[in-house]
Structures are given as C-alpha cells and as structure tokens.
Amino acid sequence: MNAYTCDGLPRYVLGIDTSCDDTGVGIVELISSELAPDGVRVRANCIWTQTVHAQYGGVMPELASREHVERIDGVMADALAEAGLQVSDIGAVAATSGPGLVGALLVGLMYGKGLAQALDVPFYAAHHLEGHIFAAASEDNLEAPYLALVVSGGHTHLFDVPEVGTYILVGATRDDAAGEAFDKIARLAGLGYPGGPAIAEAALRGDATAVPFKEPLQGQKAFEFSFSGLKTAALLAHKAGAKPDDLAASFQRAAVHVLVKTTRRAAEAYGRQTVVVSGGVAANTALREAFNQTNLRVVFPGKGLNTDNGAMIALAGAAALRAGRSPSPLEAGATAYAPLANG
Ligand code: KG4
Ligand code: ZN
C-alpha cells in the first residue's frame, strides 16, 4: 500500500524521462518531520543510455523511441529494486511531457499515465527544464529566489526564479546550445560521442592557450549566448592543423568563460546571490571550478543528476505536490517545443 508523509502527501514519487536518448526512471522520498520539514531524498535513479546513436554522431529519433519502448519496463524494475520498494508503494507519478523528441516523450508519458491510472494515484506532466533545475535546487533544499542556468545538449537558458514555479527568461542562446557545441566540436576533432565528456577528457592533455577563440557577443548589454561562432572558429583551426587536445582545451576554456561571465553579470543585474547550474554540461569539471571561484553561491546537481534522468522529474513532481498543484489531466500531450518562462 502506498505510504503518506505526516502532511498527508504521498511518500514515494516516481519520475520518468524519455525526452531524448536516455530512458530514466527515478524514485524520490518525501520526508516530513519536525527535523526535516521539507526534506526529499533520491531513493533510486536508473538510466539506460542508448548507444545505438553513436554510429550516427547524433540522436536518431525513431531509434530512440523504439529503444525506450524496449527498455522502460526493465529500467522501472531496476528503480523499484534500487529503492527496495514494490510498485504499490508509489504514491504519485511524474513524466516529462516536453520539450523533447515527441515520439520518445510519448513512450514515458503514456507509461507514466498508465501506471498512475493503474495505481489510482496522482499524475504530473513535468517540464524537462524544470526537472533539470530541481535536480540542483533539491540539493540542500534550496529555496527561491535564485538564478538558474540550464546548460544541456538542447538548451542554454538563464532564468530568474523569484519564487517556486515562476520562471522569468533572462537570456538564452541565439543559435547552438552549449552541449551541442561540445558534441559538434568533438565530432569534428574525432574525439567521439557524446562530445562533452570527450572534450573534457582531451582538454586535460591539451594547451588551452593554443587556439585563440574570440569571445562571442563581447560587450553586449543583454544576457544572451552564442556558440556558432566558436564552432566555426574550431572548424577553421581544425583545418589549419590544430591538435585535437589543444582544440578541446581551448574551446572548453572559451565556453566556460562566456557561461560564467554572462551568468555573473545577470546575477548582479537581478540582485541574486545564488545560482543553480544544471543540465548535462553542468557535469563539466572546468565549468564547476570556474563557478566555484566566483563570489556567488553556486549549486550543482548531485552525482548522476546532471544529464537526463528520471529522479529529476520525480523531484519536479515532488515540488508540485508540496506546492499543492493540481495533478495534470490524463489528456496532457507531448510537446516538442515548450517554453518554461511564465513570469
Ligand atoms: O541534459 P542532457 O543529458 O540532455 C539534454 O537535455 O540535452 O545533456 C547532454 C549534453 C550533451 O551535449 C553532452 O555532450 C553534454 O551534455 N555533457 C557535457 C559533459 N557531460 C555531458 N558537456 C561538457 N562536459 C561534460 N563533462
Ligand atoms: Zn536534458
């Protein structure tokens, strides 16, 4: 039987993310006691990362959907085993409804709705970016206000979060996402896929001053990002014979510099001392070190919560429950394009 906290909220929330090429199922536990009134703990975070796309150097949507269908049952069973729970213990279900690849999203969304209906528990359609933000914001039970930088393969978005659930868009990329630039430059330099971890590893061996990169949008008053110029500069340097390790180190330094600089300016302009940095690129050690050297309080997702995962969606579901949000209607559909800004 599903358990409840002393506030009458479901104790275990299951989250599903199938927005791209990772099949993720996570379970979080809501803890409410006098000692930890708003505690939440990740009990399971199981991910099947699809490797079928590596041969194409990018995600093939139809293959992603098919593999989600094949894997989701197994990932779900793994998550329950990791948490030491039965499916009947789950008291609420959340699943990503967008943004993402529609065919891929539909697999997790339909699975989540079916599960919630079978268990007769509330269902929450979750926003993928809100999940990324909660992956970090749940560390230390961080409370708004804060600034949130989401840096992933599909997004480079900066939001002001004055209160839970309100997202004001401060700036975004004009072209490629940061992770997309890591992936494309890694492919060009023959470093493998996904490119983020490959660039980070090669950068350890390279000279970050070997290839000069011009800072994108230098002197701007706004808080926008642009990575296509860095990509073109990398292509030209590669053609001119730059060593892959040097290219990786120099590009990483340029990307980290601009992400930290723009976020710092925005934090100052918006009067925020706390910044949440999340999404796949937040796993980058050089980025973390650079942010940690600022005078801001910077919060990153915990281990295994940077790249796409189900636990972050369970955390978003848990936050919706705590905020008293009504469950989503079962007809909630999957959307490829879904802006988060609502403020
Ligand atoms: O959040 P995520 O799993 O998927 C999206 O929602 O897009 O992010 C994946 C992105 C990929 O572009 C990947 O290359 C990048 O995150 N990434 C990294 C690192 N680990 C993953 N980028 C830089 N450094 C890393 N260590
Ligand atoms: Zn993501």
- Tens of pLDDT, residue by residue over 32-67, are 755 555 689 999 999 999 999 888 878 899 999 999
pLDDT in tens, 234-292: 999 999 999 999 999 999 999 999 999 999 999 999 999 999 999 999 999 999 999 99
Predicted pLDDT of residue 264: 98
pLDDT of residue 54: 83
Contact by Cβ (8 Å): 20, 104: yes
Which residue shows structure tokens 């073109």?
A: 232
pLDDT tens per residue, range 130-154: 999 999 988 777 889 999 999 999 9
Residues 95, 17: Cα–Cα separation, whole Å? 6
Q: Give the model's pLDDT for residue 38.
A: 67
Does 157 count as an annotated binding residue? no
Instruction: Assign 316 a pLDDT band (cuts: 50, 70, 90).
Output: very high
For the cut 90, the answer to whether the pLDDT of residue 126 exceeds it is: yes
Give the Cα separation of 173 and 258 in Å (integer).
12
Please tell me if the CB atom of residue 280 comes closer than 6 angstroms to any atom of ligand 1.
Answer: yes
Percent share of the chain, pLDDT over 70: 98
Beta bridge partners of 274: 297
Instruction: Tell me what pLDDT residue 57 has.
Output: 74
Residues with CB under 5 A from ligand 2 (ion): 152, 308
Position 113 confidence tier, pLDDT thresholds 50, 70, 90: very high
Mean predicted lDDT score pLDDT of the chain: 95
Answer whether 301's CB lies under 8 Å from 275's CB: no
CA of 51 to the centre of ligand 1 (A): 15
Nearest ligand to residue 191 Cα: 1
What's residue 1's pLDDT?
A: 65
Residue 79 has pLDDT above 70, yes or no: yes
Q: Rounded distance, CA 168 to CA 215, Å? A: 26
Contacts of 221 (CB under 8 A, 6+ apart): none
Element (DSSP H or E) covering residue 236: helix 228-239
Kindly state the tokens that stand for 20. 């791209």
At 159-193, the pLDDT tens digits run: 999 998 899 999 999 999 999 999 999 999 999 88
Say what the pTM is.
Answer: 0.95
pLDDT at 139: 77
Q: Is 295 among the annotated ligand-binding positions?
A: no
> Does the CB atom of residue 131 touch ligand 1 within 6 A?
no
Q: What is the mean pLDDT of residues 228-234?
A: 97
Pocket test for ligand 1, best of 45, 307, 337 (most atoms within 8 A of CB): 307
C-alpha 278 – ligand 1 centre gap (Å): 10
Q: Is the pLDDT of residue 98 over 80?
A: yes
Measured in Å, residue 175 CA sits from the centre of ligand 2 at 17
Is pLDDT of 155 > 70? yes
* Residue 109 binned pLDDT confidence (cut-offs 50, 70, 90): very high
Pocket of ligand 1 contains residue 156 by CB under 6 Å:
no
Atom of ligand 1 at shortest range from CA of 178: 12
- The pLDDT score that the predictor gives to residue 36 is 54
Task: Pick the range with the lowest mean pLDDT from 90-94, 120-124, 336-340.
Answer: 336-340
**Is 308 part of any known ligand binding site?**
yes
DSSP string, 173-213: BSSS-HHHHHHHHHHHTT--SSHHHHHHHHHTTS-TTSS--
